[in-house]
Amino acid sequence: MESSGDEAKKQSRENTLKEKRAMRRDRNKRRKSEKRQMREKLKEEREKGLENAKVASLEAQRYKAIARKYLNLWQKAAKRSDTWQSTKTGPGADGKMKTISRDHLTHVKDHKKLAKGAFGKCKIKMYQGQLVVTKEFRKEVSKEAVMKEAGILSRLSHPGVPFVLGIDLSRNPFMMVTLFYGIDMSNTTLFELLNSDKFNAEFKLDQSKSISITIKLAETLSYIHDNGILHNDIKSDNIVFYGENTQLKPVLIDFGKACAMKEGKFYKLSKDEQLKYKKNHSHIAPEIVDGSEPQTASSDMYSFGLVVQKVGKFVCWKELEKLGDICAEPDIAKRCTLTFLMDECKLLSKQ
């Protein structure tokens, strides 16, 4: 039987030359593996850094393009400052908005009821053989507010903007008269088109019609912005249609909150008011509600993006819906421009 001393000698013996060589090979192999892993990691980090730099460069170019776009809009608005320094009266023979007496308007029988909202109510009337819409304002709405809205509309001339005929400020409720835009004696709105089975069955909104409507609305909004005006209340309720079923033509209505671009205002709402506003006026851009930015063309773009989203979702067109997502991006810097939207829509229309 071997003693404990002999066992200790065996355990403490030196490695043989063969064992040392094997250990050296393993050690070298391990070091090479570690170096290779380190090189691969450095390469991966370098490639990631280059990719991030590329993305940052593209983002910087995009932001510059956006900045140039809004600088151009601002310059156009500045050039029109003389025209828009007062939006209280519209053009007429004497430089004032034409007055239309309500006594000269006749009632139209058997017509469907029109919109009724916070501003007041609308009715279909007949004026000199022409169907018109009278917008009767709430009693608390001032003459100046009525004249401002009518003045803005009178200076715009586009198929997608209501044509104002005149106003009546002789007594309350104050009234504005525009041409009637509708189908079958009803001002069919986009909201109704998207939410009513009856209207959907009648007009059959499909991808072809939806992209045509989107492009026409984008062109209308572009025209409004190019003329230095913000709508500030774009939503499906404020878009009506006229024309034939096969060729629906949209009109952007209700310019009650519209203003010159340079007059875009800041909102100062409490936290509770912000929550209430987001719930009841979800189409208003988040930067307006939280008071971080004034009303701008970008805030109009956000509201329009929500409309595009709904249209794309309704016709089950993911590409159009995604365009709406980009338009309604909460981050202003990531929000696309109208030019981009129109270009993309035109590409979609060719598919």
Helices 297-314 and 207-226, axial angle in degrees (round to 10): 170
Residue 181 tokens, joined: 């835009």
Q: Does residue 316 share a domain with residue 198? A: yes
Range scoring the smallest mean pLDDT among 3-7, 118-122, 192-196: 3-7
Whether 140 and 222 share a structural domain: no
User: By CB neighbour count within 10 A (0-12 exposed, 13-18 middle, 19+ buried), where does 215 fall?
Assistant: middle
Same domain, 206 and 148: no
251 and 267 together in one domain = yes
Instruction: Indicate if 234 and 320 belong to the same structural domain.
Output: yes
Q: How far apart are CA 300 and CA 339, in angstroms?
A: 14
**Does 82 score more than 50 pLDDT?**
no
Q: Is residue 287 part of a domain?
A: yes
Q: Write out pLDDT tens, residues 244-285.
A: 656 789 999 999 999 999 999 999 999 999 999 889 999 999
Same domain, 218 and 344: yes
Residue whose token pair is 């912000």 = 274
Please report whether residue 246 resides in a domain: yes
Asked if 219 contacts 160 with a C-beta cutoff of 8 angstroms, the reply is yes
- The answer as to whether 290 is a domain residue is yes
Residue 77 lies in a domain: no
- Between 121 and 7, whose confidence is greater? 121
25: in domain? no
Name which residue leads in pLDDT, 64 or 336: 336
- Number of separate helices (H) and strands (E) present in the chain: 12, 10
CB within 8 A of 260, min separation 6: which ones? 77, 84, 87, 228, 229, 230
| pLDDT tens track for 149-187 | 999 999 999 999 999 999 999 998 999 999 999 887 777
What is the domain-level CATH number for residue 108?
3.30.200.20
**Does the pLDDT of residue 89 top 50, yes or no?**
no
3-state secondary structure of 302: helix
Same-domain pairing of 244 and 258: yes
Pick the last residue of a domain from 151, 180, 209: 180
Give the per-residue pLDDT at 203: 77
Last residue of a domain, one of 124, 149, 180: 180
Co-location of 163 and 195 in the same domain:
no
DSSP 8-class letter at 284:
S
Task: Provide mean pLDDT across the span 64-68.
Answer: 73
Are 130 and 203 found together in one domain?
no
Could you say which of 180, 195, 228 is where a domain stops?
180
Specify whether the CB–CB gap between 267 and 274 falls below 8 A.
no
Residue pLDDT, tens place only, 104-122 = 999 887 666 576 666 778 8
Q: At what angle do helices 207-226 and 318-327 cross, to 10 degrees?
A: 20
Asked if residue 328 and residue 206 are part of one domain, the reply reads yes
- SS3 for 175? strand
Clarify whether residues 145 and 216 are in a common domain.
no
Residue 36 lies in a domain: no
Residue pair 285/298 in contact by the 8 Å Cβ criterion: yes
191 shares a domain with 176 = no
pLDDT digits (tens, 9 = 90+) for 309-332: 999 999 999 999 999 999 999 999
Cα separation, 123 vs 144, whole angstroms = 22
Residue 274, domain CATH: 1.10.510.10
Predicted TM-score (pTM) of the model is: 0.72
d(CA 64, CA 58): 10
User: With contact defined as beta carbons under 8 Å apart, do 161 and 224 qualify?
Assistant: yes
**Are the C-beta atoms of 213 and 250 separated by less than 8 Å?**
yes
Tell me the pLDDT of the chain averaged across its residues: 85
Which letter does DSSP use for residue 129 in this model?
T
| 282: containing domain | 186-350
83 inside domain: no
